[in-house]
Structure formats: structure tokens, C-alpha cells
Amino acid sequence: MERKSDIEEFQKVMKTLSEQIPSLIRGIISSIFSAEAGKNIGAAAANFYKELKAGGIPNEVAIKMTQDYVRTFTNLGTLLSEVMSRKEGSSGKIGKELGEAISKALKEKIGEGKEE
């Protein structure tokens, strides 16, 4: 009888998780893809690049390192977007748009740094 009770409890836990996890992931995606988050990522990337240059890192290396730094954010966004698209059947458009927006902002900031 205890075994049946454990199985029922496990089923309740799994049902709760399957209902709650998508909402949690959607919340995380929303916070990553918000305009404010994009602005913060752009500012962080620009500051990262600036500090690399101030530390004497050659321009090509600083650009590559900054691209890798930003890729960390975009990979996380893409991963979460893919998880949700598989769960909900959406196209994953959000992750692509975020990656493009971050890439554009980074190129603009790097361009500003070259003028200085």
C-alpha cells in the first residue's frame, strides 16, 4: 500500500513540475529578451571590450574575445528558446532576433571604440 502512495505522490510531483517548468522558462526568456536586458548585455559587452583594450589587448583579439563573451548570452537565449519551441511548437524566432539585436549593438559599440 505504501508503494502505491509513493507512486501517486511521484505522479503529483511530476504533474506539478510539467505545469510549472514551462512558465518558469517563459519568465527567464522574457527577462533575457527584454529591451532592458538587451541594453544591459550591450553595455556589458562594450565595457568588456573597453577593459580589454585598456589592458593592452590587440584590437583583433579584443574583438574576438568580446564576440565570445556575447556568444555566451546568445547561446543561453537560443538554448532556452529551443527548449520552449520544442515544448510549444513555436519557431524559435525570439532567440534569432535576440542574437541579431545583440550582434548589431556590439558592432555599433565596437565601431564607437575605434573612433576614440
Q: What are phi and psi for residue 106, nearest 5 degrees?
A: -65, -45
- Greatest C-alpha distance within the chain: 75
The pLDDT score that the predictor gives to residue 92 is 47
Number of domains in the chain: 1
Q: What is the pLDDT of residue 39?
A: 83
- Residue 61 confidence class, pLDDT cut points 50, 70, 90: very high
Q: Could you read off the pLDDT of 24-60 as tens digits, one per residue?
A: 777 776 766 677 877 888 899 999 999 999 999 999 9
Q: What is the value of pTM for the model shown?
A: 0.48
Radius of gyration of the chain (CA): 20
More confident position, 96 or 64: 64
Give the model's pLDDT for residue 91: 43
Residue 95 CA: distances (Å) to CA of 29, 36, 77, 87:
9, 16, 6, 15
Tens of pLDDT, residues 65-116: 999 998 887 777 677 667 666 655 444 455 555 556 666 666 666 665 555 4
Q: What is the mean pLDDT of residues 21-26?
A: 75
- The 3-class SS string of 32-53 reads HHCHHHHHHHHHHHHHHHHHHH
User: Residue 17 sits in which domain range?
Assistant: 2-115
Neighbours of 83 (CB within 10 A): 16
Estimate to the nearest angstrom the gap between the alpha carbon of 47 and the chain centroid. 18
Contacts of 65 (CB under 8 A, 6+ apart): 48, 52, 57
